[in-house]
Homo-oligomer: A and B are copies of this chain.
């Protein structure tokens, strides 16, 4: 029996098992559901024991628990893989927008509907099916690589304790590669591999002028207006080509390779559909890059909010005493949040007109960007395994967003590889979340092949 046949033979069992797990409402953002998050961790631990993992542990945090499981390869020199996912799910409001109960998993044709089906329980569970398929075909009683599964319980709440957890267990999580299964592919017929995520740092800028609001009749024309100073700062963030104009902003940016750009250009991109999705009348951005490249490959400076002076009904003729903005910067390799923060501060302080002063406060250290090395054995093997499962070429994509994944690479000191089979149409974080069952099976097939490849490809 081959991998694909084994997986097909276990399809119904797989769907039934996943449905059991999906029935547990493990909403980490809802304190009333924290008992369910714990129940979800225990369910998963039990399932991993049944799968055959000799070591299964619940890892406590000051918040909600993660699950750790380890199945060592027979060969002590075999490479080790950390697989990352999360067992908590998003809230389900608005409940009345769901066609079925979010925690009564429902099969409709090839789809399994329920909260967490795609994000992320389905994508964790394909790993246990894939591992069993690998073992069934090899006949071995241990995987060809050491598998360390780490399944977080607070991802949908911002992973507040995740970096600490990684640091605390760094030794036990030692590995040659981290496989992330929590993203999406371009489409069901267009399998793709995410090869990077943008980083993030965000701040508040407070600009102060007169020590009190002034009457614009008595003082207007000669008193410094902090809203005007802030508008100039914000307008100066970009040049006419849509590039970020903060000196040094691009200094550490590594341009994406021609191969990656070609792969992105080959995606069947539909601009009209993108605009509909963005609820926008036009796409904008940095000259010289496509829409996808702007969102995936390029760093940004974005105004998230601003306020100053009078904002009520009608008018109030004041020179306001202060003006404020929230900015966020999406970063790409190898931009360092700390360096960008320093340059933003300098930009602000170098562009203040007389009579105003400013404070720039960043919210925490920021999130570093991450990207896979497309020429690495880890990425090439994953792309091949996925291509074998899907029977077609695998494109490269990236994520424009930022997540705890960068912490995995930084703290564990291992490269990231994204192996995931969600779709953008899965309605994650929204009512009627679903997953395509055939894609979960392809995910299982991919990792069944991948562990064999890694056993040789990643060997020191």
Say yes or no: A224 contacts B280, CB within 8 Å: yes
Q: Which of these binds chain B: A71-79, A123-131, A208-216, A259-267?
A: A208-216
Q: Say how far A294's CB is from chain B's closest CB, in angstroms.
A: 4
Known A209-B280, A235-B235: A324·B300 in contact at CB below 8 Å: no
Q: Point out the residue from B221, B227, B298 that lies within 8 Å of A294, measured CB to CB.
A: B221
Q: Say how far A192's CB is from chain B's closest CB, in angstroms.
A: 16
A320 beta carbon closer than 8 Å to chain B: yes
Known A278-B210, A317-B304: A284·B222 in contact at CB below 8 Å: yes
Q: Point out the residue from B216, B238, B355, B400 that lies within 8 Å of A330, measured CB to CB.
A: B216
Say yes or no: B315 contacts A202, CB within 8 Å: yes
Say yes or no: A320 contacts B304, CB within 8 Å: yes
A452 beta carbon closer than 8 Å to chain B: no
A residues 233-256 in Cβ contact with B at 8 Å: 234-238
A16 beta carbon closer than 8 Å to chain B: no
Chain B minimum-CB-distance residue to A354: B282
Question: Quick one: which of A200, A220, A308, A330 has the most chain B CB within 10 A?
Answer: A220
A231 beta carbon closer than 8 Å to chain B: yes
* C-alpha gap A200/B294 in the complex (Å): 43
A residues 259-308 in Cβ contact with B at 8 Å: 274, 278-286, 291, 294-295, 298-300, 302-308
Q: Point out the residue from B225, B230, B295 that lies within 8 Å of A302, measured CB to CB.
A: B225
* C-alpha gap A202/B200 in the complex (Å): 38
Say yes or no: A303 contacts B217, CB within 8 Å: no
Known A202-B315, A280-B210, A307-B307: A286·B221 in contact at CB below 8 Å: yes
Residues of B near A399 (CB, < 8 A) are 217
Q: Point out the residue from B210, B217, B314, B315 that lies within 8 Å of A198, measured CB to CB.
A: B217
A56 beta carbon closer than 8 Å to chain B: no
A28 beta carbon closer than 8 Å to chain B: no
* C-alpha gap A316/B280 in the complex (Å): 20
Say yes or no: A221 contacts B330, CB within 8 Å: yes
A104 beta carbon closer than 8 Å to chain B: no
Residues of B near A279 (CB, < 8 A) are 210-212, 214
User: Interface extent on A, as a size class?
Assistant: 35 or more
A residues 345-385 in Cβ contact with B at 8 Å: 353-355, 357, 363
A257 beta carbon closer than 8 Å to chain B: no
Known A231-B231, A294-B221: A323·B306 in contact at CB below 8 Å: yes
Known A221-B330, A315-B304, A316-B326: A355·B283 in contact at CB below 8 Å: yes
Say yes or no: B304 contacts A219, CB within 8 Å: no
What sequence of 0s and 1s flags, for each residue 394-409 of chain A, a beta carbon within 8 Å of any chain B beta carbon? 0000011110000000
Say yes or no: A236 contacts B235, CB within 8 Å: yes
Say yes or no: A217 contacts B318, CB within 8 Å: no
Residues of B near A295 (CB, < 8 A) are 218-222
Residues of B near A319 (CB, < 8 A) are 302, 304
Known A200-B317, A224-B284, A317-B304: A278·B219 in contact at CB below 8 Å: yes
Residues of B near A309 (CB, < 8 A) are 303-306, 326
Say yes or no: A303 contacts B308, CB within 8 Å: yes
Known A234-B235, A283-B222: A217·B308 in contact at CB below 8 Å: no
* C-alpha gap A98/B169 in the complex (Å): 67
Chain B minimum-CB-distance residue to A202: B315
Chain B minimum-CB-distance residue to A232: B235
A161 beta carbon closer than 8 Å to chain B: no
Say yes or no: A304 contacts B300, CB within 8 Å: no
Residues of B near A325 (CB, < 8 A) are 227
Q: Say how far A325's CB is from chain B's closest CB, in angstroms.
A: 8
Say yes or no: B217 contacts A354, CB within 8 Å: no
* C-alpha gap A420/B202 in the complex (Å): 54
A residues 26-48 in Cβ contact with B at 8 Å: none
* C-alpha gap A326/B319 in the complex (Å): 11
A-B contact pairs, 18 of them (CB 8 A): A216-B304, A216-B328, A217-B401, A218-B295, A218-B401, A220-B330, A222-B278, A224-B283, A227-B305, A234-B235, A235-B235, A281-B357, A302-B319, A305-B320, A306-B307, A306-B309, A309-B326, A314-B363
When A and B form their complex, which 10 residue pairs have the shortest distance between CB atoms, in order from nearest?
A217-B401, A282-B355, A235-B235, A305-B309, A231-B234, A305-B310, A282-B354, A227-B303, A221-B294, A211-B279
